[in-house]
């Protein structure tokens, strides 16, 4: 199959079925054009302008993720799980925050690592930091919230991973954490295969047709995935700026103190939509009066403990591990929000 055929096939798979994100966009604009046509046009213009502004960052994000997939550079994650336990935790947190793993690969990867006997502290460090930051997320965060916020969120992702990793290291000898996986859970999936049977990295991937096809397939898939969530997010941001009073947001966020940051972290769990969609939403909230520290807490807590992610973790890990995962995520989010509030 040629690269062009693969691209066409990916396009058909994307639009050949009803996608909830695109359906939400269609319903939202249909409702606006029926109820408030003027706002519908303003929302459409705002969404289009925002997509144009972020397009360079989006293209960089897509290209970096596609290159990592096609070249096999994501196999380097295995290097984070060798050596002394403290070094393993450090590198696991770093690699989790920087690796371009797809969301479908994180849970099988964790299961594979644990079933292979990789210590739980290192796995927990990767587990916590991985959903929070990757090259794509960094580019888009920089485009929507600024370079300072992107760097701070990257540091927060590493810190949360370290908090969980070294925290579990203190608890690992207790019976509750002796066997972290639920019965019947083992390795497998797209993430597990990279650890169980790692392949060499081919930096000049374009020399092999199969890898060129992988680059095209990954690039198209990421473009469509990011595009649909950003379209929905910018549309919602436009409505928030139009209809949510700044005083209300300011009152909910408070003055950036500990209580407002705790509330933002707790609200982030049920209110969080998607890692990419949340960025412009938080940008809109900050523009409306939310303190940056509360916005950071919302992004960190929601990124780790959003309902879909929490359900997946609950299905994979035993209850003590699941509760520790939630506790470290929320604690890290609150600390990150407070720290960013002081320096941001």
d(CA 202, CA 231): 34
For residue 330, what pLDDT is reported? 93
Q: How confident is the model at residue 105 (pLDDT cuts 50, 70, 90)?
A: low
d(CA 44, CA 52): 12
d(CA 173, CA 168): 9
d(CA 143, CA 54): 6
Whether the per-residue pLDDT at 104 is higher than 50: the answer is no
Q: How confident is the model at residue 90 (pLDDT cuts 50, 70, 90)?
A: very high
Instruction: Check: CB of residue 25 under 8 Å from CB of residue 232.
Output: yes
Give the number of C-alpha atoms closer than 13 A to the C-alpha of residue 235, restricted to the C-beta side: 20
For residues 65 and 296, the model is more confident at 296
Question: What value does the mean pLDDT take over residues 310-328?
Answer: 84
Q: How confident is the model at residue 303 (pLDDT cuts 50, 70, 90)?
A: confident
Eight-state DSSP code of residue 182: P
List, for residues 175-191, the tens digit of each pLDDT value.
Answer: 888 788 877 665 444 45
In the block, residue with structure tokens 């909830």:
20
For residue 154, what pLDDT is reported? 95
Is the whole model's pTM more than 0.95, yes or no?
no
Joined together, the tokens standing for residue 267 give 């609200």
Secondary structure class of 317 (helix, strand, coil):
strand
For residues 5 and 318, the model is more confident at 318
Let me know if 303 is exposed, middle or buried by CB neighbors in 10 A (0-12, 13-18, 19+).
buried
Instruction: Check: CB of residue 76 under 8 Å from CB of residue 92.
Output: no
**DSSP secondary structure, 267-283, as one string:** HHHHH---TTTHHHHHH
The torsion region of residue 59 among left (phi > 0), alpha (psi -120 to 50) and beta comes to alpha
d(CA 14, CA 12): 5
d(CA 197, CA 215): 21
End-to-end CA distance of the chain: 50
Give the residue ranges of DSSP H helices in the chain.
3-15, 20-35, 37-71, 85-98, 103-115, 120-129, 135-145, 147-171, 189-196, 209-243, 246-253, 258-271, 278-287, 292-305, 307-316, 319-343
d(CA 327, CA 344): 25
For residue 54, what pLDDT is reported? 83
For residue 168, what pLDDT is reported? 94
For residues 40 and 130, the model is more confident at 40
d(CA 165, CA 122): 6
For residue 327, what pLDDT is reported? 93
**Which stretch of 6-15, 263-272, 283-292, 321-330 has the lowest confidence by average pLDDT?**
6-15
Eight-state DSSP code of residue 46: H
Instruction: Check: CB of residue 304 under 8 Å from CB of residue 329.
Output: yes
**Contacts of 248 by beta carbon, 8 Å cutoff, 6+ apart:** none
List, for residues 132-183, the tens digit of each pLDDT value.
Answer: 888 888 988 999 899 999 999 999 999 999 999 999 999 888 888 878 887 7
Instruction: Check: CB of residue 66 under 8 Å from CB of residue 222.
Output: yes
List, for residues 253-290, the tens digit of each pLDDT value.
Answer: 555 567 888 888 887 776 555 667 788 878 888 887 78
In sign, the C-alpha dihedral spanning 13, 97, 284, 335 is positive
Q: How confident is the model at residue 50 (pLDDT cuts 50, 70, 90)?
A: confident
For residue 338, what pLDDT is reported? 92
CA separation (Å) from 119 to 45, 76, 113, 148, 168?
51, 18, 8, 34, 10
Instruction: Give me the percent of the chain exceeding a pLDDT of 70.
Output: 75
d(CA 250, CA 284): 12
């Amino acid at each position: 199959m040629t690269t062009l055929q693969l691209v066409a096939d990916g396009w058909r798979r994307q639009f050949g079925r009803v996608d909830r994100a695109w359906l939400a966009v269609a319903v939202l604009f249909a409702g606006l054009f029926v109820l408030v046509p003027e706002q519908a046009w303003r929302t459409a213009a705002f969404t289009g302008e925002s997509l144009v502004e972020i397009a360079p960052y989006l293209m960089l994000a897509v290209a970096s993720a596609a290159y990592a997939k096609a070249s096999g550079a994501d196999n380097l994650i295995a290097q984070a799980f060798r050596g002394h336990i403290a070094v393993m935790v450090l590198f696991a947190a770093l690699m989790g925050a920087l690796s371009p793993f797809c969301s479908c690969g994180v849970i099988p990867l964790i299961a594979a690592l644990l079933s292979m006997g990789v210590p739980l502290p290192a796995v927990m460090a990767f587990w916590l930091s991985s959903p929070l930051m990757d090259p794509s997320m960094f580019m888009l965060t920089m485009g929507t919230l600024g370079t300072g916020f992107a760097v701070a969120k990257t540091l927060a992702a590493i810190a949360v991973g370290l908090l969980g990793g070294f925290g579990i290291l203190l608890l690992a000898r207790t019976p509750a954490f002796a066997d972290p996986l639920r019965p019947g859970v083992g390795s497998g999936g797209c993430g597990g295969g990279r650890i169980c049977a790692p392949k060499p990295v081919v930096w000049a991937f374009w020399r092999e047709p199969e890898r060129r096809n992988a680059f095209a397939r990954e690039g198209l898939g990421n473009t469509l995935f990011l595009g649909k969530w950003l379209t929905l997010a910018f549309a919602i941001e436009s409505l928030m700026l139009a209809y949510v009073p700044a005083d209300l947001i300011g009152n909910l966020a408070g003055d950036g103190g500990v209580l407002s940051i705790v509330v933002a972290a707790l609200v982030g769990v049920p209110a969080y939509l998607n890692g990419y969609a949340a960025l412009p939403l938080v940008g809109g909230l900050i523009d409306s009066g939310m303190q940056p520290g509360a916005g950071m807490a919302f992004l960190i807590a929601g990124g780790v403990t959003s309902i879909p992610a929490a359900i997946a973790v609950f299905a994979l890990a035993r209850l003590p591990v699941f509760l520790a995962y939630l506790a470290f995520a929320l604690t890290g989010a609150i600390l990150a929000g407070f720290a960013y509030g002081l320096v941001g």
